[in-house]
């Protein structure tokens, strides 16, 4: 299959987004969702545009054919545009899970699923869907993965919807609070870059075991509990957690809850170089929901991951992990 530079795809996405942003008097991210729809349908969908603008857009879209690109190239070009839009639309919840983390979870997921080729996967704080689409792009061809994405932010869920269409991924999207009641049957696995901070809905938080005894509850604690609620017994959950998760005043309650409901499988500290400062550093936290007949691992997999550019150190960690899988899975 003949391919073209990813820069060309980004250029078309970016230029058409800027045209729509100007014509529709909207934000870059809103215009990006519109141009993504146009690319997917292969025609200009906005009826309110002038004939001149419509022709101008059509000419730009004709410069590329999505079929000439691999899914990862499409995802990255779309991601670059989202990142550009986020610079001018900064909100605390408008953050994208880095590719490196998505790639690593893509490596870990099949290891824990033990060759399972039918997987129901949930991300209940999906954002733009970048983590889910990275995993779906990297899955083995013989694995049938049905994904569910939940996101409360209307712009982010629209971008996730458009991205899923461009990549032809069968993701079911739900525009709602990820801590609300979900119309989703229990899944085999959960992946979630946990929203860190306080959850403002005290009435809803009161329905969780991990609610705070006073004041607002930690959203990231509630998202862990919610994930377990929607995971099948024996299923796995892959969370991106702050490194101080077990050092806060609410940590004892969280530890007790996890002791009763799950087996901790692994804590993998991500390189500090990935984050703006050490306070923002995170780890991959993997747990398994308890089920009769299932035993905890002989030891929890603990590792500090090196920079991916440090091949020698990374190889040593991967050897250690392979040994752990052989002994515990």
The answer to whether residue 320 sits within a structural domain is yes
Tell me the average confidence (pLDDT) per consecutive run of 10 residues in the chain, 329 residues long: 75 97 95 97 93 95 92 96 83 70 93 91 96 95 95 95 96 97 97 95 96 94 98 98 92 96 96 80 96 94 88 90 89
Q: Both 288 and 182 in a single domain?
A: yes
Q: Both 197 and 156 in a single domain?
A: yes
**Predicted local confidence at residue 96, as pLDDT:** 79
The contacts of residue 47 (CB under 8 Å, 6+ apart) are none
Looking at 48, 67, 87, the residue that finishes a domain is: 87
The answer to whether residue 171 sits within a structural domain is yes
**Predicted local confidence at residue 70, as pLDDT:** 93
Query: Residue 133 maps to which CATH number?
Result: 3.40.50.150
**Predicted local confidence at residue 90, as pLDDT:** 54
Is 313 in contact with 306 (CB distance < 8 Å)?
Answer: yes
Q: Both 297 and 161 in a single domain?
A: yes
The answer to whether residue 32 sits within a structural domain is yes
Q: Both 138 and 250 in a single domain?
A: yes
Q: Both 240 and 289 in a single domain?
A: yes
Query: Which residue, among 302, 291, 298, has the nearest Cα to 329 in the 3D structure?
Result: 298
Looking at 33, 65, 87, the residue that finishes a domain is: 87
Number of structural domains found in the chain: 2
Query: Residue 81 maps to which CATH number?
Result: 1.10.150.470
pTM, two decimal places: 0.93
Q: How far is CA 113 from the centre of its chain?
A: 18
Instruction: In whole angstroms, give the CA distance from residue 151 to residue 160.
Output: 9
Q: Both 189 and 292 in a single domain?
A: yes
**Predicted local confidence at residue 87, as pLDDT:** 84
CB-count burial class (<10 Å; 0-12, 13-18, 19+) for 67: exposed
Instruction: In whole angstroms, give the CA distance from residue 229 to residue 73.
Output: 35
The answer to whether residue 30 sits within a structural domain is yes
Domain that holds residue 34: 6-87
Q: Both 72 and 131 in a single domain?
A: no
The answer to whether residue 1 sits within a structural domain is no
**Predicted local confidence at residue 2, as pLDDT:** 47
The answer to whether residue 93 sits within a structural domain is no
Q: Both 39 and 167 in a single domain?
A: no
Q: Both 37 and 174 in a single domain?
A: no
Q: Both 209 and 233 in a single domain?
A: yes
Q: How far is CA 224 from the centre of its chain?
A: 15
Q: Both 114 and 64 in a single domain?
A: no
**Predicted local confidence at residue 4, as pLDDT:** 62
The answer to whether residue 249 sits within a structural domain is yes
Looking at 61, 87, 113, the residue that finishes a domain is: 87
**Predicted local confidence at residue 274, as pLDDT:** 83
Instruction: In whole angstroms, give the CA distance from residue 140 to residue 316.
Output: 24
Q: 207 in helix, strand or coil?
A: coil
The answer to whether residue 121 sits within a structural domain is yes
- The residues with which 151 forms a beta bridge, in sequence order, are 175
Instruction: In whole angstroms, give the CA distance from residue 292 to residue 277.
Output: 42
Q: 4 in helix, strand or coil?
A: coil
Q: Both 120 and 236 in a single domain?
A: yes
């Amino acid at each position: 299959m003949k391919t073209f530079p990813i820069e060309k795809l980004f250029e078309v996405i970016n230029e058409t987004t800027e045209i729509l942003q100007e014509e529709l008097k909207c934000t870059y991210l809103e215009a990006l969702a519109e141009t993504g729809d146009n690319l997917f349908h292969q025609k200009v969908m906005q009826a309110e545009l002038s004939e001149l603008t419509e022709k101008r857009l059509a000419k730009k879209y004709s410069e590329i054919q999505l079929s000439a690109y691999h899914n990862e190239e499409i995802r990255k070009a779309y991601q670059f545009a989202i990142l550009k839009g986020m610079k001018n639309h900064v909100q605390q919840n408008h953050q994208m899970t880095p590719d490196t983390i998505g790639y690593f979870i893509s490596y870990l997921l099949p290891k824990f699923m033990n060759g399972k080729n039918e997987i129901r996967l949930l991300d209940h704080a999906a954002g733009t869907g970048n983590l889910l689409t990275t995993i779906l792009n990297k899955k083995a061809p013989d694995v049938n993965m049905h994904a569910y994405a939940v996101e409360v932010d209307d712009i982010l869920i629209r971008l996730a919807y458009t991205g899923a269409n461009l990549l032809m991924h069968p993701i079911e999207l739900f525009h709602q609070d990820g801590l609300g009641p979900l119309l989703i049957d229990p899944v085999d696995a959960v992946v979630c870059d946990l929203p860190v901070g306080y959850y403002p809905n005290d009435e809803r938080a009161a329905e969780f075991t991990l609610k705070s005894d006073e004041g607002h509850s930690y959203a990231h604690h509630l998202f862990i509990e919610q994930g377990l609620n929607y995971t099948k017994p024996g299923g796995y959950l892959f969370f991106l957690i702050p490194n101080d998760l077990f050092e806060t005043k609410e940590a004892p309650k969280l530890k007790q809850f996890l002791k009763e409901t799950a087996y901790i499988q692994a804590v993998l500290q991500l390189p500090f170089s990935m984050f703006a400062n050490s306070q923002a550093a995170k780890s991959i936290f993997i747990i398994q929901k308890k089920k009769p007949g299932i035993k905890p691992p002989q030891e929890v997999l603990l590792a500090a991951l090196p920079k991916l550019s440090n091949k020698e150190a990374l190889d040593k960690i991967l050897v250690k992990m392979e040994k752990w899988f052989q002994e515990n899975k």
